[in-house]
Structure 1
Amino acid sequence: MVSELINANPVVYEKKERRDRGGRAVLDEYAAEPIDQLEIFDHIRDIKDPEHPYSLEELKVITEDAVDVDDQRSYARVTFTPTVEHCSMATVIGLCLRVKLMRSLPSRYKVDIRVAPGSHATEAAVNKQLNDKERVAAALENPNLVDMVDECLAPSYA
């Protein structure tokens, strides 16, 4: 029911054209080329919003510029911007980003998921939840939450 949504009418943006880079489904630890910003963005751009039939890219929740990566230090940070300041799905969106990167990046990577500064009413709490290994592990033990994450990560054929 639309009236239950926090942001019933989000602004939808056009997706950027994909650049053919011979993308890898899973980013290989032993690949000759380093993992870069665009490659990580390509892995997360199609994640579906938990409340809307649009990708996080289409809602500008994530952008290529919001991805920082240092392959030599095995570090990646994704900063996302919820569509509204009181987005109740912010932690779910962050969890989707974390799970997708856990499944895609080599295990040597440290991943930092953050809400853009000033974009969410409970920014500090959301950031703490998304970057605490024990909280993430506990969330991933909840079958309903795992189903929601898997649905957001499922490929879209539209």
Structure 2
Amino acid sequence: MEEKALEVYDVIRSIRDPEKPNTLEELDVVTEKCVEVRELGEDEYLIVIKFSPTVPHCSLATLIGLCLQVKLQRCLPFKHKLEIYISEGTHSTEEDINKQINDKERVAAAMENPNLREIVEQCVIEPDD
């Protein structure tokens, strides 16, 4: 499973922060330890990501979660279920945000918003593109 976790981490580490020029990896928002992969069945995996916003009142934590969702849905070559959470104790409204970023309808609705979609695209684009 460690190999899969590294594969997932490689996908998310280059996501850019919505406010800063840095990547989530450079800001320690995501680390190798924050990715957990469990086998669900043949060729299907559960991916759990726990990220840590840079500040406890980060207004962009939901947006970062959305970027993680979008990038992984697009880039992972294997079948998976995805759960994304804010690391416990690292955000003042972590419960609300966890519900939002794991709700398929809310994610879909957010991506229908042109302004939001544009921000997400800027964050998930590969530096070499």
Task: Give the TM-score of the pair, scaled to structure 1.
Answer: 0.74
The answer to whether structure 1 residue 64 and structure 2 residue 32 are counterparts is yes
Cα drift, residue 66 of structure 1? 0.4
2:53 aligned residue (82, 86, 99): 82
SS of 1:140 mapped into structure 2: helix
Q: How does 1:92-107 map to 2 (within 5 A)?
A: 92-106=63-77
Paired AA for residue 113 in structure 2: N
Cα 1:35–1:141 shift into 2, 3 Å = farther
The alignment covers a number of residue pairs equal to 125
Please give the secondary structure, in 2, of the residue aligned with 1:46.
coil
CA shift for structure 1 position 81 = 0.1
Percent identity (aligned): 51
Report if aligned partners of 2:2, 2:37 keep a CA contact under 8 Å in 1.
no
Q: In angstroms, what is the RMSD of aligned CA positions? A: 1.8
Shift of 1:105: 2.2
Query: In terms of mean alpha carbon deviation, does 42-51 or 72-81 score higher?
Result: 72-81
User: What TM-score, normalized by structure 2, do the two folds share?
Assistant: 0.91
Work out whether 1:155 is the aligned partner of 2:108.
Answer: no
After TM superposition, where is structure 1 displaced by more than 6 Å over at least 4 residues in a row? none
Structure 1: unaligned runs, 5 residues or longer: 1-32
Q: 1:111 aligns with which of 82, 96, 99?
A: 82
Counterpart CA distance in 2 for 1:88 and 1:102 is 23
For the pair 1:43 / 2:11, whether they are aligned, the reply is yes
Residues 34 and 71, structure 1, Cα contact 8 Å, conserved in 2 = no
CA offset digits 1:19-70 (Å, max 9, x no partner): xxxxxxxxxxxxxx99611111001100000000000000000000000012
Does residue 1:130 correspond to 2:86, yes or no? Answer: no
Distance change >3 Å, CA 58–CA 34, structure 1 → 2: closer
Higher helix share: 2
Greater CA radius of gyration, 1 or 2?
1
More strand by share: 2
